[in-house]
Structure 1
Amino acid sequence: MNSFLSKFSKNQSLLYKGLLFISATLLIIYFLPKGGQFKYDFDKGKPWQYENLYAPFSFTIKKDKETLEKEEKSIRDSAIPYFDKDTSAVSESLSRFSESLETSFIDSLYADKALIKNIGETILKKVMGRGITNEVHPYSESKLIYIKNGNEVEEVLYKQIYTEDDITATINSELIAYELPNTKSYLSSILERSITANVTLNSRLTEDAITSEINAINPNQGIIEKGARIIAKGEVVEGNTFKILNSLSAEYESQIWSKSNQLWLLVGYSILIALVFLMLFLFLKKYRLEIFNNNTKLTFIFFNIVLMIFLTTLIIKYNASYVYVVPLCILPLVLKAFFDPRLGLFVHVLTLLLLGFIVPNSFEYLFLQIIAGIVTILTVSELYKRANLFISVGQITFVYIVGYFAFSVIHEGNIDTIEWETLGLFIICGLVTLFAHPLIYLYEKIFGLVSDVSLLELSDTNSKLLKELSNKAPGTFHHSLNVANLAEAAANEIGANAMLVRVGALYHDIGKMKNPTMFTENQVNSINSHNELEPLESASIIIGHVIDGIEIARKHKLPDRIIDFIRTHHGTSLVYYFYKKESEQNPDVAKENFMYPGPIPFSKETAILMMADSVEAASKSLKEPTSTKINDFVEKIIDGQMEQGQFLNANVTFKEIQQIKKVLKKKLNNIYHLRVEYPE
C-alpha cells in the first residue's frame, strides 16, 4: 500500500496532465457538430481541385437560404388577410340610433318620425353590412381580403369596406336618394354618432394561414440521379453547381452520422483533437519546460482553448453569421501577457485547427483569424501601456475588414453583394477585444499568474511596501534600486523579461526590514552589531532575511513569481565571512549551518538577479576601483557561482552568462567612474 501511495505521489503531476488532456478532448467532442465531414473542400468562385465528381447516390437539390427567403417573402406579400365582422355591432348601433332619435326628435321641425327612423335604419344596415374599420392597414384598394362573419367567409376587395373617414361622405351620398326637407343634416348627425366600426383584422388567423403556406414550401428544387456528373476538374464552383455541391455535402453528412457509424466518427474526432493537444504538449515539453511542469499554467492554457471553442459554438448555434463577433484575438493577447509571443501564436493556431470542425466557410475563417493572430502578436508590445492596446485593436479590425473585402470580391466578382453587417461584426469584435485588460486582471486573481500590467504597478517605488522598505532600511532600498538597474540592463541584453527582473530586484531584500541594522548597508555609524554575536548566530540572522522576506511578501500578497526572486537570490551559497570566522575558532564546523536554504535559480531572470545582487553588494568593498579591478572582480564572483552549480537549473547558456558579465562590468564602470579633479 505504501509503495502504491509513493508511486501515486511521484506521478500525480503526470496523472493530472493525463486527466486534463482527456477532459479537454471530451469537452471539445461534445461541442463539435453532430455530423460527418464531407470529404471535399470547396469555395464559391474557386476552381474544383479534385477529379470529376459523380453523384455517389441520388439526392435532391436543396434551395439555398436566399431562395427560401424570397419565397417566404412572396407568400407574405401575396397572403390574403382575414378580417372579423362583429355581428352584434349592427343591433347595438340600431339601439343607439333609436335612443338618439327618441331624445332629440322635434315634431315641429322634422319630417315624419317613423319615416326618418325607417330611412336611418336602412342606411345604417347597408353601411355596416359592407363593414367599417377604424384600423389603418398597408393594403391597396385592390387587395383581396377575407371577411369572416360567424362561420361564413366572404371574399371582397379591401376598398369595399369603409373606414371611419368615409362615414360622413357615405351617409350623405345615401341620403341624396330621399326627399327629406330640413331633416337630412339632422339624420346624418344621428347616424354618424350611432354607426361604429365592426370589422377588425384577425392577426392570428392571418399569420396561421401564412405559416401554413410557408411550411408547405418545398425545400427542394430538383433531383440529381446516381452517377450523374456534378462538376469537372478545374471547373469554377458557382451558380447552380454550388447549390448542388452544398446539397450533396448536407446529404452526405446526414447519411454518415447514423447510429451504426456514430462510434467510428467519434473515434475519428477523438484522434484529431488528441493530435492537436499532443502537439501542444510536445511543444511545451521541448520549448517551454517550465510551463509544462507547472500544472496551474497548463490548466490556464487548456481553459482558454476550451473557452474560445465553447463561445464560438454558442454563437454558431444561435446564428452562424455572427461567428466573427467572437474575439479570438484575445487568446494570443492574454497568453502573450502571461508567457511569450511564440506560445501565444502557437496556441492560437491550434485553437483555430479545432474550430475548423465547427465554423462555416472554414478556409476563409481560418485565413482571417490566423492573419489577425499574427497581427496581434506583432503589434501588441508593452501591453501595460493602454494606448498600445487601442492601436493594436484598430489594426486587427482593419485586417479583418480588408481580408473579408478581398474574399467577397473573389467569391462574387463585385462589391455589390458585400454584407455590411459583417463589417459591423468586426468592429464589435474589436471593441470586445478591449476587454483583455480586465480579463487579464481576473486571470491573475484566479490562477495566481502575473502579467506586465501588474509588474508595472509593483515597480512603483511609491507603493506601500517599498516605502516601508525605504523608511526602515534605506541602505537596502538603495541597494535594491542599483540591483534593479543592473539586472534590467542584463535582461535586455539576453532577451529575458526585463520588467519581471526589475520588480524581482526591487523586492528581493524586503526581509531585511525585520533586522535592518544587522546589514552593513543600513549601519549609519562604525558600530557593527555582529561584533557582539557568535558567528553562527550572525549567519542565521543573515540567512533568515530570505525566510523573513517570503513571509512579508505573502503577507502583502505579492505574486509567486516575485516571491521566487526572494527565495532564490542567494541560492545555496555560503555566508563565507561568518563561516571563515567560525572555522578559525572551530575547525570541525558544519558547513551546512552557514548555507542559504535555496533553492537555486530556475530561470534566466532569477539567475540574472543572483549575479547582479552579488556583484552590486560586493562592489562596495572595492577600494580605489579601476576598470581592471572591476573586470576581475565580476569574473571572480560569477565564475565562483558557476563552480558552486548555482545556475544548473536556470535556462541560461554560457554565452548569455558572458553577455551578462559584459553588461555588469560596463554598468559598474559607469557607476565608479571618477571625475576629473578641478583646481579650487
Structure 2
Amino acid sequence: MARLKIKYKSGYKGGKYAPLFRYGMMLASVVLITMFLPKQPRFRYEFEKGKVWMHEDLVSPYNFSILKTQAELDKDRENILKSIYPIYNQNTQVAEQQLAQFDTALPERWQTAGLDTLDENMATYEQVGKQLLSDIYKRGVIALNNKFQSDRTNYNFTLLTDNVATQRNTAEVFTVETAMEYARKTIGNRSAIGHKDWLVDAVSNYITLNYLFNEPLTARLEEDALGNISTTRGMVQRGELIVANGTTINNEVYQKIESLRKAYEEEARIGGNWTLVVLGQFFLVGLVVSLLFVFIYLFRKDIYHNNRLIFLILIAITGMLLALSWAIKIKLPSLYYIPYCIVPIIIRILFDTRLALNIHLLMVLLAAFFVPNSFEFVFLQLSTGMVAIYSIKTLVKREQFLISSAIILGTYLTAYLGMALMRDGSFNNIYWSNVAPFIFSVLLTLLAYPLIYAFERVFGIISDVTLMELTNSNSKLLRELSYKAPGTFQHSLQVANLAEAAIYKIGGNTLLVRAGALYHDIGKMANPQYFIENQTKGYNPHDGLSFEQSAQIIISHVSKGVEMARKNQLPEVIIDFIRTHHGTTRVDYFYQSYIKSFPEKFVDEDIFHYPGPIPFSRETAVLMMADSVEAASRSLKEPNAQNINDLVDKIIESKLAQKQLINSNITLKDITEISEIFKEMLKSIYHVRIDYEGNKKETVSLKPQDGIV
C-alpha cells in the first residue's frame, strides 16, 4: 500500500523537558504503587478444588497444622454455643416485696370490691393468696430467651443464688404466663374461695420475674469459650506427601495445601527480607508500566507525546491498584467489592478499545500477585472487563451505562456459577451471599460517568457523549450560527455529512469529524456578509475593498473562529478543526485578481495565505477536503456527473500538490475512497442522472468561496 509521507503531530508536547517529565511520572507511579502494595511473599503454586494437581509432587518442607475449613469452624462455634448455659440471677428480695405489698393492699381491695358486706372471711383469701405467691416464687419465675430455645421450648440454665450456682431447666420454673395459669387452677380447686376470679386478679398483680437473665456474664462465658476454639485439626509432618502429580485435589488435600500456603506466607513474612520483597514488587510494577508505555509508543503516539493524557492514564491505573491495596490491608470480606471494570470503561470512552483492553489486562495480571485464588480473580476480571469494553463500543446514549452494567453483572454471575459448579459439582455448596460483592461492584461502576466528565474538564479531552452533545443543532453556538449566517450553517451541515460518510468508510471517529465540521466555520459569524453563501443577490461588500483587505477578512474567520470557540469553552480537539480546515492554502481568487490587476507590483503572498497549521489527523484532513469540495460544488453551472468528478479530482489533487496532507495519517488508498464517497454524495445532492451517451465537459468557474480556489 502506498502511503503518504507522514509526519506526526501531537496536540501537546510540552517543550524539550516533556520526555523527562513523562519518565518522571512513570517512575513516580511505579514507586507509589510499590509503596502501597501488600508486602508479603507469594506461594508459588496455583491450585483449585476439584482440579488436577499439574505440578510436581508436593512434599511438606516442614511440620505444619491443618487449618479447619470455615464450615468446620462454624460447626465448632455452634456446638460451643450450645454447650454454654445462660446464667440467671435469683433476686430473693422480689418474693418478700411482692408478698408484703399483697398483704398491705388486700384489705383496701377487699373493701373497694364490697366484699366486706358479704358473709366472706378475708383472712381465708389472704392466706390462700400469700401461700400461692410463696409457692410461685419458690419455684421461680423466668422470661424465656429465644436465643437459647432454637428448635426446642425449654433449655438448661445456670441459676446463681448468693453466688451459688445450680443447674436448672426452664421446664422446672414458671414464666409469668404459666404462673398465672397455675394460680387460676389452684384457686379454682379451693372450695372455700367464693370469689375465685377476684382473688386470681388480685394475685396476678404481684407475679413478676425473680430469675433475671445475666446477659453480660453469659456473653463473657461465650466469648471465652469461642476464643478457645482450635483453628486447626491434625498435623502434616515434614517429608509427608501432600499431593502427587496428576492427583485430583479433593477437600482434604485442598485444605492441606491451603494450610501450607498460609504457613509459608506467614513464615516468609516474619523471616523474609522485606527489602527484597519491595525490590521484587518494584520490578514487577515497573515491567507492567513499561509494557504499557511500549504499547502506547507503538500504537498511540498521539497519547505518548501528550503528558496530560499520560498523567490521566497513570492516575487511573495507580488509583485502582491503590484501592486494591487498601482493600487487602483492611481485609475487606471480598475483593470483588472493588469496581475493577471502571478503569477499562473510562479508558475505552476517552481513548479506544485496544488501549482499554491492554491496560485492563496488565492491571489484572499485576493484581493477581496479591489476591487469593488468583486464577479465579483473573478469569472473572478479564471476562467482565472485556464485556465492559465491548458493551460500550459506541456510547451515544446515557442508558448504555445501565445496559452495560447489567451485562457486566450477568457475566459475573455466569462465571461465578460456572466455576462453583465445576469446582464442587453441586448446587449445595454455592454460597449465594457471594453474589453481593458483584452487585455492589457493578453499582460502583456507574461512577464512571461522572468521572469521565471530571477527566474531560480537568485534562481537556473529549468523549463520545460530549461529542453527541456538541453535534446537537440546538446548542447555543450552532443556533447563533444558523441565525447570523444561515448560508454558512447549511454549508457546515453538508460538509458534516460528506466528512462523516468519508471517515466512516476509511476508519476514524465519525462523531469527532461531524462535530468539527459543524463548528469549523463559526468565525464567519463575525462578518457573515463577506462570504458568498450568506450574500443576497446584487450586493457584494468586497466591491468596495482592496484585494488585500478582502483576503484578510476571508482569512480572519479562522482566528475569529478559534477565539469564539475558546470563549464558548469548546474542546481543543474541536478547535483543531477550525485552525486546520484551510491549512496553509492561499485565497486564490483574490490573489489571482491582484496579479491580473497589478502585474507590475510585487506581491507579498503571505497576505493571501492562511496561517495554518495543516491537518495532522485523518479527521482534520477529511474535513479540509470535504469543506473545499462542498464549497466549490456550489459554483458549478451544470452539476452533472462529469463535472462533479472533475471538480472533486481537481480539489483533492490541489491539496496534495500543496502538501496539505503530509502530516495526516492517511494513505493514497484512503484518499481514493474519500474521493469516490464525495462524488457519489454530491451527485445525490444535485440529483444527477447518469448520461450513457457521455457528458460534455464543462469548464469549472470557481468564485471567491472562502478561499477555496
Q: Note whether the superposition's TM-score is higher than 0.5.
A: yes
Match of residue 669 from structure 1: 683
Are 2:21 and 1:16 equivalent residues in the alignment? yes
Q: For the structure 1 residues 181 and 346, does the alpha-carbon distance in structure 2 shift closer, same or farther, using more than 3 Å as the test?
A: closer
Q: Distance in 2 between matches of 1:439 and 1:172?
A: 72
Q: For the structure 1 residues 657 and 163, does the alpha-carbon distance in structure 2 shift closer, same or farther, using more than 3 Å as the test?
A: same
Residues 214-265 of structure 1 show CA distances to partners (whole Å, capped at 9, x for unaligned) of 1111111122222221111111112111111111111111122237511111
Q: Distance in 2 between matches of 1:482 and 1:185?
A: 100
Are 2:111 and 1:74 equivalent residues in the alignment? no
Match of residue 510 from structure 2: 498
Q: 1:562 aligns with which of 565, 571, 574?
A: 574
Q: For the structure 1 residues 152 and 17, does the alpha-carbon distance in structure 2 shift closer, same or farther, using more than 3 Å as the test?
A: farther
Compute the displacement of 1:188 (Å).
Answer: 5.0
SS in 2 for 1:254: helix
Match of residue 540 from structure 2: 528
Match of residue 602 from structure 2: 588
Residues 4-61 of structure 1 show CA distances to partners (whole Å, capped at 9, x for unaligned) of xxxx974432233233323332343344333211011111111111111111222111
Letter of the aligned partner of 2:684 in structure 1?
A: N
Q: 2:669 aligns with which of 644, 649, 655?
A: 655
Compute the displacement of 1:107 (Å).
Answer: 10
Q: Distance in 2 between matches of 1:671 and 1:192?
A: 100
More deviation, 360-369/667-676: 667-676
Q: 2:68 aligns with which of 57, 63, 67?
A: 63
Compute the displacement of 1:101 (Å).
Answer: 3.1
Compute the displacement of 1:104 (Å).
Answer: 4.2
Q: 2:257 aligns with which of 210, 221, 245?
A: 245
Kindly indicate whether the alpha-carbon contact (under 8 Å) linking 1:141 and 1:157 is maintained by their aligned counterparts in 2: no
Match of residue 93 from structure 2: 88
Q: What does 1:15-34 align with in structure 2 at a 5 Å threshold?
A: 15-34=20-39
Q: Distance in 2 between matches of 1:565 and 1:221?
A: 72
Letter of the aligned partner of 1:302 in structure 2?
A: L
Kindly indicate whether the alpha-carbon contact (under 8 Å) linking 2:484 and 2:525 is maintained by their aligned counterparts in 1: yes
Compute the displacement of 1:634 (Å).
Answer: 2.7
Residues 467-525 of structure 1 show CA distances to partners (whole Å, capped at 9, x for unaligned) of 21111111111111111111111101111111110110011000000001111221112
Are 2:278 and 1:266 equivalent residues in the alignment? yes
Residues 133-157 of structure 1 show CA distances to partners (whole Å, capped at 9, x for unaligned) of 2455453465220123343333211
Compute the displacement of 1:316 (Å).
Answer: 5.3
SS in 1 for 2:661: coil
Q: 2:208 aligns with which of 196, 209, 230?
A: 196
Q: What does 1:66-465 align with in structure 2 at a 5 Å threshold?
A: 66-104=71-109, 106=116, 109-111=119-121, 113=123, 120-134=129-143, 137=146, 138-139=148-149, 140=152, 143-171=155-183, 188-258=200-270, 261-313=273-325, 322-386=334-398, 388-423=400-435, 425-427=437-439, 429-434=441-446, 436-465=448-477
SS in 1 for 2:395: coil
Match of residue 649 from structure 2: 635
More deviation, 341-350/581-590: 581-590
- Structure 2, unaligned stretches of length 5 or more? 1-12, 111-115, 692-709
Compute the displacement of 1:604 (Å).
Answer: 0.9
Match of residue 601 from structure 1: 615
Match of residue 550 from structure 1: 562
Q: Distance in 2 between matches of 1:157 and 1:492?
A: 84
Match of residue 526 from structure 2: 514
Q: For the structure 1 residues 340 and 169, does the alpha-carbon distance in structure 2 shift closer, same or farther, using more than 3 Å as the test?
A: closer
Kindly indicate whether the alpha-carbon contact (under 8 Å) linking 2:125 and 2:193 is maintained by their aligned counterparts in 1: no
More deviation, 415-424/172-181: 172-181
- Using CA pairs below 8 Å that are at least 6 residues apart, which structure has the higher relative contact order? 2
Letter of the aligned partner of 1:382 in structure 2?
A: T
Compute the displacement of 1:460 (Å).
Answer: 1.9
SS in 1 for 2:636: coil
Match of residue 4 from structure 1: none
Letter of the aligned partner of 2:86 in structure 1?
A: P
Q: Distance in 1 between matches of 2:399 and 2:681?
A: 32
Compute the displacement of 1:108 (Å).
Answer: 7.5
Q: For the structure 1 residues 617 and 206, does the alpha-carbon distance in structure 2 shift closer, same or farther, using more than 3 Å as the test?
A: same
Letter of the aligned partner of 1:414 in structure 2?
A: S
Letter of the aligned partner of 2:618 in structure 1?
A: K
Kindly indicate whether the alpha-carbon contact (under 8 Å) linking 1:135 and 1:200 is maintained by their aligned counterparts in 2: no
More deviation, 200-209/276-285: 200-209
Q: Distance in 2 between matches of 1:182 and 1:676?
A: 122
Kindly indicate whether the alpha-carbon contact (under 8 Å) linking 2:288 and 2:362 is maintained by their aligned counterparts in 1: yes
More deviation, 153-162/276-285: 153-162
SS in 2 for 1:258: helix
Compute the displacement of 1:118 (Å).
Answer: 6.2
Letter of the aligned partner of 2:180 in structure 1?
A: T
Letter of the aligned partner of 1:12 in structure 2?
A: Y
Q: Distance in 2 between matches of 1:149 and 1:449?
A: 78
More deviation, 168-177/406-415: 168-177
Compute the displacement of 1:314 (Å).
Answer: 5.0
Compute the displacement of 1:446 (Å).
Answer: 3.5
Match of residue 635 from structure 2: 621
More deviation, 193-202/513-522: 193-202
More deviation, 28-37/668-677: 668-677
Kindly indicate whether the alpha-carbon contact (under 8 Å) linking 2:14 and 2:307 is maintained by their aligned counterparts in 1: no
SS in 1 for 2:309: helix
Compute the displacement of 1:569 (Å).
Answer: 1.0
Compute the displacement of 1:449 (Å).
Answer: 2.3
Kindly indicate whether the alpha-carbon contact (under 8 Å) linking 1:231 and 1:241 is maintained by their aligned counterparts in 2: yes
% of aligned pairs identical?
Answer: 38
Q: Distance in 2 between matches of 1:169 and 1:462?
A: 82
Kindly indicate whether the alpha-carbon contact (under 8 Å) linking 1:600 and 1:649 is maintained by their aligned counterparts in 2: yes
Match of residue 697 from structure 2: none
Q: For the structure 1 residues 53 and 471, does the alpha-carbon distance in structure 2 shift closer, same or farther, using more than 3 Å as the test?
A: same
Match of residue 701 from structure 2: none
Residues 579-606 of structure 1 show CA distances to partners (whole Å, capped at 9, x for unaligned) of 3444563643333333222222121111
Q: Distance in 2 between matches of 1:392 and 1:9?
A: 37
Are 2:631 and 1:646 equivalent residues in the alignment? no
Compute the displacement of 1:635 (Å).
Answer: 3.0
Q: Distance in 2 between matches of 1:444 and 1:515?
A: 32
- Structure 1, unaligned stretches of length 5 or more? 1-7
RMSD: 2.9
More deviation, 652-661/64-73: 652-661
Compute the displacement of 1:81 (Å).
Answer: 0.7
Letter of the aligned partner of 1:124 in structure 2?
A: L
Kindly indicate whether the alpha-carbon contact (under 8 Å) linking 1:111 and 1:181 is maintained by their aligned counterparts in 2: no
Q: For the structure 1 residues 177 and 471, does the alpha-carbon distance in structure 2 shift closer, same or farther, using more than 3 Å as the test?
A: closer
Q: Distance in 2 between matches of 1:142 and 1:372?
A: 52
